[in-house]
Amino acid sequence: MADAVWLRVIHVAGAVLLLGNVTVTGFWAAYLYRARGTVPFRPVARAILWTDVVFTLGGGAMLVVSGVLLVRAGGYAIADTPWLRQGIGALASSTALWLVFLLPDQWRLQRVDPADDATLRRLFLRWSVVGWTATALLFYGLWAMVSRA
């Protein structure tokens, strides 16, 4: 029983790190983009990239590992548990967007010449739209898991 409690603590902490980081990253990036004329763009974009990698990856790993262990300990059948399927699907979809679009765009954003406003705008717009979509998927997954609907 004590193991299950620790697994739930790790699971919730992972969700907090993951959701908190992706949400805050979106706001910091929007601030950076708006202030790009007065704030040194590249070092801040690099800091956003690395905090995103550390906290998104770390929180996601905590969430997935503890979630798998909780499913096994609880004897849940994923195929027969709609809220697990929905939560896992939302996390998988968000992760795919992060790996295919967001991380590559973050690498590009930290390397783009700050004077190349057209490229910066195009990259930032795509990163923002895809990023907020991925974030919405994570919040949907949270809702599915907590409400067990």
- In sequence order, which residues have a C-beta less than 8 Å from that of residue 142 and are 6 or more positions away? 15, 19, 87
Are the beta carbons of 85 and 145 closer than 8 angstroms? Answer: no
As a whole number of angstroms, the distance between CA 48 and CA 10 comes to: 24
Q: What are the tens digits of pLDDT across the range 5-49?
A: 999 999 999 999 999 999 999 998 998 889 988 988 888 888 888
What is the residue extent of each domain of the chain?
2-147
CA distances from 70 to 10, 12, 75, 77, 88 (A): 10, 12, 8, 12, 13
74-111 confidence digits (pLDDT tens): 999 999 999 999 999 999 999 999 999 999 999 999 89
In this prediction, residue 1 carries a pLDDT of 61
The whole-model pTM stands at: 0.92
User: What is the rounded average pLDDT of the residues 116-133?
Assistant: 95
